[in-house]
Amino acid sequence: MKNGKLQVGIIGCGGIANQKHLPSLAKFADKCEMTAFCDIVPERAAKAAEEFGAKGSKTYEDYKELLADKAIDVVHVLTPNVAHAPITVDAFAAGKHVLCEKPMAHTSADAQKMLDAWKKSGKLFTIGYQNRFRPEIMMLRKAVDLGELGEIYFGKAHAVRRRAVPTWGVFPNKALQGGGPLIDIGTHALDLTLWMMGNYKPLSVYGSVFYKLGNLPQATEGNLFGPWDPKTYEVEDSAFGMIKMEGGATIYLEASWALNVSRSREASTTLCGTKAGAEVFSGMSYPDNDVVFNRGHHGLLTEEHITKGGAVAYFEGGSEEPGVAEARQWLDAILENKTPLVKPEEAYTVTRILEAIYQSSESGKEVKF
């Protein structure tokens, strides 16, 4: 630390860095300084340093040079998926705290290497599942903790877009990403569902993965981010999984960047318990995120929604953006030596399940743990 502030190094200065991490960390100038930026494209690192870096910030093309700087306390690993594991392992070996973007890794073997390195390091480790910090998600988690839903024995993890294939970066590149919508957005929905159910012990997985629309030129019509190139689209366009958990609980997972459905629902979950149910509605088809509780009440079936708070003239209400809330709790966890909200072991289970869906689809058989 320098001047009582954590010294943060950024590895990967692309979209997720500029849209989420850099502006979020910049809000906590009292807790941290961003003093090192690394990217294989030097111009991106230079731009990030100019816009968000502290005075005298350094830029690198080789992340190992950044890690060699003993002044750096924390690194954020914000690279394509397949690079998460080697960089994270090296960061722990260099004595850094690590926040790695989701998914933890594209294979469970790589995720295990990250866990092993973390446990040897004595440092803190978390994964970037910022959707946990949304206000309606925190509200739902509190209801679950209070037992208001009873035993949750069935859940659905929703991550479906009608047409919103990302057309920038390396999203369609299987060699760099390891997969498509399943590990890109399906990972968020599964994380939320597992977290709410509090069950991280999968027994078996059966999955179906489809490569139907990605290579069809006409399917690019109406895509939110403009037409993608069917010739370079290498990953799946949709994937589905049925997950059997210890104790008999079951989860259905759906993930797609492009699916012929009328409504898009993303980073959402459905929970069915013995006392009540709850459904989160978010995504492009929903102007406002909502959580709906359903139950029997005084002889009738009822639904309970969030009430919008409104505003007072000249004074706006509202809560922190999820990325900002994530950054705040992460920095506080390091400064106060507390456990981060997103635990590495939980993210590891997400990776294991996603990998099993791909494996099951390829083999046509159920994957048992």
Examine the domain organization and report whether 70 and 160 are in the same domain: no
User: For the segment 206-246, what is each residue's pLDDT rounded down to a tens digit?
Assistant: 999 999 999 999 999 999 999 999 999 999 999 999 999 99
Residue 79, domain CATH = 3.40.50.720
Examine the domain organization and report whether 213 and 284 are in the same domain: yes
Nearest to 186 by CA among 136, 236, 226, 260: 236
Q: Which two tokens stand for residue 363?
A: 């083999």
Examine the domain organization and report whether 199 and 89 are in the same domain: no
What is the radius of gyration, based on Cα positions, of the chain? 21
Range of the domain at 363: 132-322+351-368
Q: Are 285 and 263 in contact (CB under 8 A)?
A: yes
Q: Is residue 333 part of a domain?
A: no
Number of domains forming the structure of the chain: 2
Q: Is residue 346 part of a domain?
A: no
Q: Is residue 338 part of a domain?
A: no
Q: Is residue 231 part of a domain?
A: yes
* Distance between CA atoms of residues 244 and 248, nearest Å: 6
Tell which of 112, 128, 144 closes a domain. Answer: 128
Query: Burial code of 72-103, b = ≥16 C-beta within 10 A, e = fewer?
Result: bbbbbbbbbbbbbbbbbbbbbebebbbbbbbb
Q: Residues of the chain whose pLDDT is less than 70?
A: 309-319
Examine the domain organization and report whether 283 and 136 are in the same domain: yes
pLDDT at 278: 98
Examine the domain organization and report whether 190 and 117 are in the same domain: no
pLDDT at 320: 83
pLDDT at 317: 57
Q: Which two tokens stand for residue 326?
A: 């994530």
Q: Is residue 330 part of a domain?
A: no
Q: Are 118 and 125 in contact (CB under 8 A)?
A: yes
Examine the domain organization and report whether 94 and 147 are in the same domain: no
Examine the domain organization and report whether 120 and 142 are in the same domain: no
pLDDT at 184: 96
Examine the domain organization and report whether 73 and 180 are in the same domain: no
Examine the domain organization and report whether 136 and 124 are in the same domain: no
Tell which of 128, 152, 186 closes a domain. Answer: 128
Examine the domain organization and report whether 90 and 191 are in the same domain: no
Residue 165, domain CATH = 3.30.360.10
Q: Is residue 70 part of a domain?
A: yes
Q: Is residue 345 part of a domain?
A: no
pLDDT at 313: 67
Tell which of 86, 107, 128 closes a domain. Answer: 128
Q: Which two tokens stand for residue 105?
A: 């890794």
Examine the domain organization and report whether 305 and 267 are in the same domain: yes
pLDDT at 282: 96
Examine the domain organization and report whether 79 and 116 are in the same domain: yes
Q: Is residue 331 part of a domain?
A: no
User: For the segment 90-142, what is each residue's pLDDT rounded down to a tens digit?
Assistant: 999 999 999 999 999 999 999 999 999 999 999 999 999 999 999 999 999 99
